[in-house]
Structure 1
Amino acid sequence: MSTFYLLLVALIQGLTEFLPVSSSGHLILLPQLTGMRDQGLTIDVAVHVGTLGAVILFFWTDVKSGLAGIPRMLTGRIDTQGSKLAFLLLVATVPVIVVGLIAKVTGLADAMRSITVIGWAMLIFGLVLYWFDKKGEDSKIATDWNRRDAIILGLWQAIALIPGTSRSGITITGARALGYTREDAAKISMLMSIPTIIASGILLGIDVAGEADIEMMKYAALGAAFAFVAALLALTLMMRLLRSVSFAPYVYYRVILGLVLLAMAYS
């Protein structure tokens, strides 16, 4: 793998992981559209680790609170802000783990990795995001997050297993449908990404355990670093823009890309 291609993979993962445009869809498309060899699971794990580091750093205050609350949560005491956050993140992560395992075991996950699926998902779920972003009320903030909403957002998140859907996009859509403000919908979505990325990384890590050599580990470390920087920049930019801009620009991009992909798929 060339350094340029590695940089390209890392930048795409970093920039699109937290923007509502689907990182997995872009990574699947990259080798298909460029004709280059798929980057492989080792690099996939590495760039996911990079984006994980970025979101943890960006929301470190909340992450630290949630980590501190885990011991109380494990003893059934959901009586502090930290233990509540840890519990809600756990609840919201269960559906995507269950559905993800089913998709992996049945082979459905591999069957959906096509330009046609990505094109339709880009288009349809982009329009769904646009609808709920426009119609959603601004009646809730992140501190209003509760068990019912965590379950609902967990089910929304499971839909993101369809390539092209976007994990951040679909959870932001769900949060806007529940009445959360744009900034708080994005914040909840980003916090939900942490246990989800960890779970995904563990599953992918099991598949590649023992396969990577020293050379590949060097590429992986470089990819993780590139992805970390790109993800941190994307997070910072999006959270700032949400103070004055809706999710419409991301929707326009999704619709255009979706139509292009569908034209390619059906031509």
Structure 2
Amino acid sequence: MDWLHAVLLAFVQGLTEFLPVSSSAHLILIPVFTDWPDQGLAFDVALHLGSLGAVVAYFRHELVAMTCSWSRSVRGKGTDDDARLAWWVIVATLPVCLMGLMFQDVIETQLRSPLILAFGLIVFGLLLGYADWRYRGQRSEVSMNWKDALWIGLAQALALIPGTSRSGITMTAALLLGFNREAAARFSFLLSIPVIVLAGGMQIYQLTVSAVAVDWSAMAVGVISSAISAYLCIHFFLVFIRRIGMQPFVIYRLLLGAALIWLYG
């Protein structure tokens, strides 16, 4: 893999991992529109590690507070807002874990066509636009309860359908529950951490048992490029939605979905 290929893939993954536009759709489409071969499992692992490093670095203070408070709550020493938020992240992660284990083979073999991507981009893009326009509220993540977390977690399981966007569907669910834009985005970003850890862990296991040769230089480029683009994406996205909202991403999803239907319909 040459450096241009590695940097472009990492840049796209780092941006789209947290934008509500579907990272899986973009990574699937890059080989479709170019002559580049599939990047392989090892490079996918590198991209996930870069995104994970970015979100952990950005929310490092919140994560330390959540971890300490959660640990105290497990030991029966009281529960505060940080502990509850940590518990809600765990609750919201359970549905996607169960659905991923049950339908992994179907997802990887039968749900990766351009038309399914178009369906996910358009349908869930329209739902995001509706939620941002009609149901945007004033709740912060501190007001979340276990029912909210479960609903957001069930919505996240839909992101197993390519084109849906994990960040997009979780933000949509949070907006429909009355959370403000920033709260919806922050909880979605925090929720990405266990998902990326689990997905990356599974990929690392598959990589170790497959004995595939690893291009370490491409891996390093992928980790660094993905981390930088993901970190910048998180920062500027939170500023952007506070001022403008989700509608530009909705328009982008509709245009991309329409282009896929035109090309492959």
Report the TM-score when normalising by structure 1: 0.94
Per the alignment, in what secondary structure is the counterpart of residue 165 of structure 1?
coil
Residue matched to 2:90: 90
Q: Does 1:168 align with 2:167?
A: yes
Indicate how the Cα distance of structure 1 residues 30 and 245 shifts in structure 2: closer, same or farther if over 3 A, else same: same
Task: Map 1:101-112 to 2 at 5 A.
Answer: 101-104=101-104, 106-112=105-111
Cα distance in 2 for partners of 1:251, 1:78 equals: 42
Aligned length: 264
Is the contact made by 1:10 and 1:47 (CA closer than 8 Å) also made in structure 2? yes
| Range 77-86 or range 220-229, more displaced | 77-86
Return the offset for 1:108. Answer: 3.2
Residue matched to 1:15: 15
Return the offset for 1:65. Answer: 1.4
Per the alignment, in what secondary structure is the counterpart of residue 153 of structure 2?
helix
Return the offset for 1:242. Answer: 1.7
In the alignment, structure 2 segments of 5+ residues that lack a partner are none
Deviations 1:168-207 (A, max 9, x none): 0000000000000011111111111111111111111111
Residue matched to 1:114: 113
Return the offset for 1:263. Answer: 1.1
Cα distance in 2 for partners of 1:65, 1:73 equals: 12
Is the contact made by 1:176 and 1:182 (CA closer than 8 Å) also made in structure 2? yes
Is the contact made by 1:19 and 1:234 (CA closer than 8 Å) also made in structure 2? yes
| Range 112-121 or range 80-89, more displaced | 80-89
Residue matched to 1:145: 144
Cα distance in 1 for partners of 2:19, 2:204 equals: 24
Q: Does 1:79 align with 2:79?
A: yes
Is the contact made by 2:14 and 2:230 (CA closer than 8 Å) also made in structure 1? yes
Give the partner amino acid of 1:11. F
Return the offset for 1:250. Answer: 0.5
Per the alignment, in what secondary structure is the counterpart of residue 163 of structure 2?
coil
Indicate how the Cα distance of structure 1 residues 199 and 162 shifts in structure 2: closer, same or farther if over 3 A, else same: same
| Range 156-165 or range 26-35, more displaced | 26-35
Q: Does 1:100 align with 2:100?
A: yes
RMSD: 1.5
Return the offset for 1:75. Answer: 4.1
Return the offset for 1:83. Answer: 2.3
Task: Map 1:1-267 to 2 at 5 A.
Answer: 1-75=1-75, 79-104=79-104, 106-209=105-208, 211-213=211-213, 216-266=215-265
Cα distance in 1 for partners of 2:239, 2:156 equals: 24
Cα distance in 2 for partners of 1:206, 1:100 equals: 16
Deviations 1:87-116 (A, max 9, x none): 111111010011011111x43332101111
Cα distance in 1 for partners of 2:259, 2:4 equals: 25
Cα distance in 2 for partners of 1:178, 1:33 equals: 38
Cα distance in 2 for partners of 1:78, 1:111 equals: 47
Per the alignment, in what secondary structure is the counterpart of residue 223 of structure 2?
helix
Q: Which runs of 4+ in 1 moved over 6 A?
A: none
Give the partner amino acid of 1:121. G
Is the contact made by 1:138 and 1:179 (CA closer than 8 Å) also made in structure 2? yes
Return the offset for 1:260. Answer: 0.2
Is the contact made by 2:107 and 2:160 (CA closer than 8 Å) also made in structure 1? no
Cα distance in 1 for partners of 2:136, 2:171 equals: 13
Per the alignment, in what secondary structure is the counterpart of residue 36 of structure 1?
coil
Return the offset for 1:78. Answer: 6.1
Per the alignment, in what secondary structure is the counterpart of residue 39 of structure 2?
coil
Cα distance in 2 for partners of 1:77, 1:171 equals: 31
Deviations 1:19-76 (A, max 9, x none): 0001111001111121311101111111111011111111122111122234234446
Per the alignment, in what secondary structure is the counterpart of residue 39 of structure 1?
coil
Is the contact made by 1:65 and 1:81 (CA closer than 8 Å) also made in structure 2? no
Is the contact made by 1:56 and 1:63 (CA closer than 8 Å) also made in structure 2? yes
